[in-house]
């Protein structure tokens, strides 16, 4: 079962989150933060805090689905920041 789960995770991470992350990052950058620099600064801070918390979480207490969801959320944040980083700034 877990072999199929790895394939699904990879497809969602590589294709799904890249397609969704770019437009979401652009909308957040323009409409909510009004500046790509502010969005990147806050996004990097939030991602760093979540990564540190995820690293220190005891893996025996939560299931595989929790780990998958947290890692996909981190990937979505990184892909959205990557799209804003490589976009031309005004």
d(Cα 19, Cα 7) in Å, to the nearest integer?
A: 18
The pLDDT value given to residue 38: 92
pTM: 0.82
Domain residues of the chain, as ranges?
Answer: 22-86
- φ and ψ of 63, to 5 deg: -80, 180
The pLDDT value given to residue 90: 59
Angle at 43 between CA 38 and CA 52, to 5 degrees: 140
d(Cα 27, Cα 80) in Å, to the nearest integer?
A: 10
Q: Considering only CA atoms, which of 2, 6, 12, 24 is closest in space to residue 80?
A: 24
The pLDDT value given to residue 45: 95
The pLDDT value given to residue 9: 87
């Amino acid at each position: 079962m877990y072999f199929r789960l790895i394939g699904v995770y990879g497809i969602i991470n590589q294709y799904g989150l890249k397609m969704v992350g770019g437009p979401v990052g652009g909308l957040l950058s323009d409409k909510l933060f009004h500046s790509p620099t502010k969005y990147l600064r806050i996004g990097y801070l939030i991602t760093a805090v979540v990564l540190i918390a995820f690293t220190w979480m005891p893996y025996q207490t939560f299931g595989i689905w929790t780990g998958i969801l947290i890692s996909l959320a981190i990937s979505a944040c990184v892909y959205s920041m990557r799209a804003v980083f490589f976009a031309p700034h005004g």
